Amino acid sequence: MQRSALRLIWLEIFERVAQSGSVQTVATDIGLSVSTVSHHILSLEQALSISLLDHTRRPMVLTPAGTVFLRSVEEALRLIRGAESEMISGDLSQARDLRLGLVEDFDSEIAPELAQQLATAMPKCTFRHFTRPSHEILEMLRNQRIDAGVATRPPQDVPGLLEYPLLRDPFVLACPRASTATPETLLAGKTSLPFLRYSQNQIIGVQIEAQLRRSRVSLANRFELESNQSIMGMVAAGSGWAITTPTSYVRAKRFHDKVTLHPFPGKGFSRTLSLFTTESYVQPVAELILSSLQQLIARQVVAPVIQRMPWLESTFQVVESSAVSGQQS
């Protein structure tokens, strides 16, 4: 076998399938058919004359030979991506591919204009945009299924990623506009309004529960929802109250006239929304995404909220920052 017989796309697809264990997942992520992805894997195995994956298992697992080969492929692709980064540095017009994940909080207000700005700056680039919860975006980054993603900073470290902090998003209480209950009364559980929890599968839900434990606040767990819109809709309907953030409030525009936000009683806390990238991703592109996001968030998210609720000005802020490397994300 001649080394030139190996095609780069075979190696890239092998890496992704090895990490995800699913041809279907890889096909969806990169915009190819399942049969095309399978063909690339089989072509690589035929060129090497060895099985790299156990095709009979779901999810697929590496064979012993595949495990050894994957280590070499990952190192080779890391070097290739680093070389590409050096070539593109300073010349964004040469950027060829961007797989970007955005939290649902920014899907309607930020995503359309961000896509336009990036397309103008990178005319040769192919864009693939994913909307996911924060924990899924971070998992996609770890598995190299996307190049960059905006997500809530998790409580634990995320090694191997670069973090660019974007927005400090304070936690607040969201109550029905007609409610006369005070924030202190709500936290004490002394009203008939039930507490509406964010799902514990989400980073925002985990952060809220951690703060309640620190504050020694115990609230009945009757409602736990994944959908921010459902939570805000129930608050607007007078069916409960929630601990949320101004950014989450912005998403629920149709409920604004029926929802009131209050400061969190006592010691406040906040989440940080950040841009995360893989360490090998092109830094000039990451910086372009960062600057575009900072401008759009300031104009489309922060400014309207501050105009409506000036008391949030000191805590609801765009973060001007550079990258923070992998150990504290």
The confidence band for 210, taking pLDDT boundaries of 50, 70 and 90, is very high
Burial of 64 (0-12, 13-18, 19+ CB in 10 A): exposed
> Is the domain of 151 the same as that of 277?
yes
Domain count, the chain: 3
- Report the pLDDT averaged over residues 140-146: 84
Count the residues in the chain.
329
> Is the domain of 183 the same as that of 261?
yes
- Report the pLDDT averaged over residues 203-218: 91
Which amino acid makes up residue 234?
M
> Is the domain of 203 the same as that of 160?
no
The confidence band for 239, taking pLDDT boundaries of 50, 70 and 90, is very high
> Is the domain of 35 the same as that of 76?
yes
d(CA 59, CA 23): 9
| Number of Cβ atoms within 10 Å of the Cβ of 15 | 18
* Partners of 151 in the β-ladder: 274
Residue 258's nearest CA partner among 272, 285, 240, 270 is: 240
* Partners of 199 in the β-ladder: none
Q: Give the CATH number of the domain where residue 232 resides.
A: 3.40.190.10
The confidence band for 165, taking pLDDT boundaries of 50, 70 and 90, is very high
Look at residue 87 in the predicted model and tell me its pLDDT.
52
* Partners of 325 in the β-ladder: 162
Look at residue 82 in the predicted model and tell me its pLDDT.
65
Whether the per-residue pLDDT at 327 is higher than 90: the answer is no
Look at residue 195 in the predicted model and tell me its pLDDT.
95
> Is the domain of 110 the same as that of 61?
no
Which ranges of the chain does DSSP label H, i.e. alpha helix?
A: 8-20, 23-30, 34-48, 64-88, 111-121, 134-142, 183-187, 203-214, 228-236, 246-251, 283-297, 303-308
Which amino acid makes up residue 278?
T
Look at residue 166 in the predicted model and tell me its pLDDT.
94
> Is the domain of 232 the same as that of 107?
no
> Is the domain of 179 the same as that of 262?
yes
d(CA 101, CA 45): 31
Whether the per-residue pLDDT at 282 is higher than 80: the answer is no
The confidence band for 1, taking pLDDT boundaries of 50, 70 and 90, is very low
Whether the per-residue pLDDT at 190 is higher than 70: the answer is yes
Whether the per-residue pLDDT at 84 is higher than 70: the answer is no
Look at residue 105 in the predicted model and tell me its pLDDT.
87
d(CA 76, CA 71): 9
- Residues spanned by the domain of 311: 89-169+271-325
- Report the pLDDT averaged over residues 194-206: 93
> Is the domain of 219 the same as that of 275?
no
What the block records as the tokens of 317 is 């802020």
- Report the pLDDT averaged over residues 81-100: 64
CB 272 within 8 A of CB 105: no
Residue 250's nearest CA partner among 273, 266, 268 is: 273
